[in-house]
Structure 1
């Protein structure tokens, strides 16, 4: 009954803005429920692998159709000078997240890492669960299998969940939204009219905005889940204290990194293959990571950008970075991360490249201007608060106070 109530609430939540796409979600749930049973009953058959491949392809096709078909037609038109008309469909909310979740279910059943779900309501709740449906974390089936049937709710757990939800809400509303205004304003200004200082203030603002926005959503999801008795995995672990890009990706969007490692990187052979295949595996994972975030050349370049950096760190820079002072390693990491966020947060690839040109003084823009000095002066305290809240310092202070005062 608990699962049924949460399932119905999740469907209402999902349908609030796009009622028609509830049918797509219901179809996905029923299709994968049936295919999971079929895979389980054919485990000893040679056709089991073919059934899995068919199931995966259907899920990928649904995701690809809604997310990438417009992007594909646009590029065909551009390359071949055609004018193929198409209707831009609105993207179903959360389709990237729930597709990856359902893929983890069918693959885990095939590999024997999870038992097949024989209750349609329980599987439906796993697919549609509203706390983390929109922005993650991505919950793998093997991590939540038991919780769908056996979980405990309590006043204290509800309180912990409410506390975590409130912190996430504050991250989003008080920090991300306020600093995001700077990035939005600078983006709307002609690049020829901004200075080098202003461009750096803009991307620093976006760097903080995307972290507190995304980690805030994850905190709210984890908190809501805990209020209902679920324990979701952590999705962020202070990524901006990293001293290498590799460490950054172990701390940022942890659930996505774990998913790609578990279901793409390791099945391809990971790093236990030849050097050439290892390079292929790294770039395959990061190309798919970029595409997963959006149907745009910006995201593709962003993914390949990180694939290149991680490959260089792994093969060339790892020993050199270890010998550098921690402060220099941190500056190196944050510099590369902010350049990456330019690609991620820009409307077009050309805009991103031009913006980077302004940042490094390659476009002939002024070094300083009144706009940059104004933003720096009026938001200095906010930047200090954001910097402190990006580290474990604030959390440790609160824990110390709570422990000392026995709150």
Structure 2
């Protein structure tokens, strides 16, 4: 079930909210149980069989948490259970997400003819698997174990962040699961945040997706320089508003139920280095890899640069692989490894000089990286990039001009909103003024109605991160 669907907006969400604040208001445990089963229903709506996979993940990680807590003063035994936890969780992820890819590559390299299983990918498996691992690792590190399996289930399965994040760390919500407090201010701010996210997804991401798809689905041998750049920029904006919009909706939904999730995006396209970009983009994933992989390996506080390079290589290969079973994602991760290693070794990201030039360099590689991300295979990615730099010999074509003319307003709004310009203007000149507050409410209501109109009309409504 998509957040940006009429089923969710007018049936699932209103019913869950009404029951949560009326029938289930009597006790926190009743509310948690209700949210857990509502989350299972949300997940089962589109993928009923895969609920069993998630339930298995919840049960096993609950057991692993108890086992590690039992032997917390016997570190050697606790480490064994931690190792088993990693093998179990990554094993499930490998089977569903990477097994077919590995067998295909073994067949291609060796000439063998092993059977390649066609395994459907459970929605959100990368996200809820990392959350489950976060819980057990945090228990190993000293966080209080959760004795109630339903609370562990709620943490892993809670529907706002279940299928697309943000990846919520157990330590950030452990207290909220049992002691959160719902307020009218939080609820209203959650509704506003949800509408903003819905508008970003439906009005901007979905519209820009049409331009991006037109470019990436065209014949790379004939696409013009202008059209290839238009498509790449459209996809750069689409993936930002698609994913950050979904994160906004998740954060807003969490607040409606009294949960406060950490931010997942912080205007990444204003970055003046690749290092800064990854502090601002998909913050929860970057934080997860930093705290559970990079720091345990030694991070940047190592004696030899060779070890620093190895640590970065491991993290970014895993980041690329996490996003998908395709060589394009591995190459995408490797590209960021090279760029981040260069910045670490030269301290370029700490320089205060030529900020505008570093901003151009950052955006250039981010856009090229999204081409890798979007392409079906490496050959198509390089062919598309070649077209961007004049490989086809054609500078501009009528289709590029038509699509730019038809969507120029969306491009302008998307570029402005991807910066903190409007936010800064609001806080500097308009915050606290009653007229402006009323106007904001009116604008949000209009955005919601227009978004719903698009959905009712059956407008194009993909979601990129469902693939991961």
Residue 48 of structure 1 and its aligned partner are, at CA, apart by 1.5
CA distance in 1, matches of 2:207, 2:422: 19
Name stretches of at least 5 consecutive residues in structure 2 with no aligned partner.
1-29, 438-468
- Is the 2:371–2:381 Cα contact (8 Å) retained in structure 1? yes
Picking from 134, 159, 172, the partner of 2:188 is 159
SS of residue matched to 1:192: coil
Identify the match of residue 401 of structure 1 among 410, 420, 430. Answer: 430
Distance 1:309 1:390 in 2: 23
Q: What corresponds to 1:62 in structure 2? A: 92
Q: Does 1:168 align with 2:197?
A: yes
CA deviation string 1:116-150 (max 9, x = no partner): 00011111000101001111100011111100110
Determine if contact 2:131/2:156 at 8 Å carries over to the other structure.
yes
What is the correspondence of 1:1-400 to structure 2 with a 5 Å cutoff? 1-45=30-74, 46-112=76-142, 114-273=143-302, 274-316=304-346, 318=348, 322-324=352-354, 326-361=355-390, 363-399=391-427, 400=429
Conserved 8 A contact 1:194-1:365: no
CA distance in 1, matches of 2:202, 2:393: 33
- Looking at structure 1, the residues matched to 122 and 404 of structure 2 have their Cα atoms a distance apart, in angstroms, of 39
Point out the more displaced range, 375-384 or 63-72: 375-384
Distance 1:205 1:292 in 2: 24
Following TM superposition, by how much is the alpha carbon of 1:321 offset from its aligned partner in structure 2, in angstroms?
A: 5.0
For the residue of structure 2 that corresponds to 1:191, the secondary structure is coil
Whole-angstrom distance in 1 between the partners of 2:217 and 2:246: 26
* TM-score, normalised via structure 2 length: 0.84
Residue 243 of structure 1 aligns to a residue whose secondary structure is coil
User: Does the 8 Å contact 1:196/1:366 carry over to 2?
Assistant: yes
Q: Distance in 2 between matches of 1:319 and 1:379?
A: 34
Q: 2:224–2:392: 8 Å Cα contact kept in structure 1?
A: no
Whether the 8 Å CA contact 1:29–1:127 is kept in 2: the answer is: yes
Question: Over aligned residue pairs, what C-alpha RMSD do you find?
Answer: 1.3
Q: 1:103 to 1:365 in 2, by over 3 A?
A: same
Please state how far the C-alpha of 1:380 moved relative to its aligned partner.
2.1
Q: Report if the CA contact (8 A) 1:192-1:365 is conserved.
A: no
C-alpha distance in 2, partners of 1:319/1:384? 28
CA pair 144-360 structure 1, distance change in 2 beyond 3 A: same
1:229 match: secondary structure: coil
Residue aligned with 1:340, SS: helix
Distance 2:194 2:275 in 1: 29
Q: Tell me, in whole angstroms, the C-alpha distance in 1 between the residues paired with 2:213 and 2:273.
A: 28
Q: In the alignment, is the contact (CA less than 8 A) between 2:223 and 2:392 conserved in 1? A: no
Q: In 1, distance between residues paired with 2:261 and 2:393?
A: 47
- Following the alignment from structure 2 to structure 1, what is the Cα–Cα distance between the partners of residues 364 and 332? 15
- What secondary structure, in the 3-state scheme, does the structure 2 residue paired with 1:246 have? helix
Q: Secondary structure at the match of 2:367?
A: helix
Counterpart Cα distance in 2 of 1:54 and 1:321: 44
Give the distance between the partners of 1:364 and 1:172, measured in 2 at CA.
Answer: 33
CA-CA distance at 1:317 after TM superposition: 5.8
Farther off after superposition, 189-198 or 300-309: 189-198
Aligned to 1:189, what secondary structure does the other structure show?
A: coil
Contact 1:52 1:107 in 2 (8 A): yes
> How far apart are the structure 2 equivalents of 1:316 and 1:155?
49
CA contact (8 A) 1:321 1:329 kept: no
Alpha-carbon offset, residue 205 of structure 1: 0.3
Q: Report the CA distance between 1:402 and its aligned residue.
A: 4.7
Where structure 1 has 5 or more consecutive residues not aligned to the other structure, the ranges are none
Q: Could you tell me whether the CA contact under 8 Å between 2:97 and 2:324 is conserved in 1?
A: yes
CA distance in 2, matches of 1:169, 1:257: 24
- Partner-residue secondary structure (3-state), 2:296: coil
**TM superposition score normalised by structure 1:** 0.97
> How many correspondences in the alignment?
404
Distance (Å, rounded) in 2 between the aligned partners of 1:14 and 1:271: 39
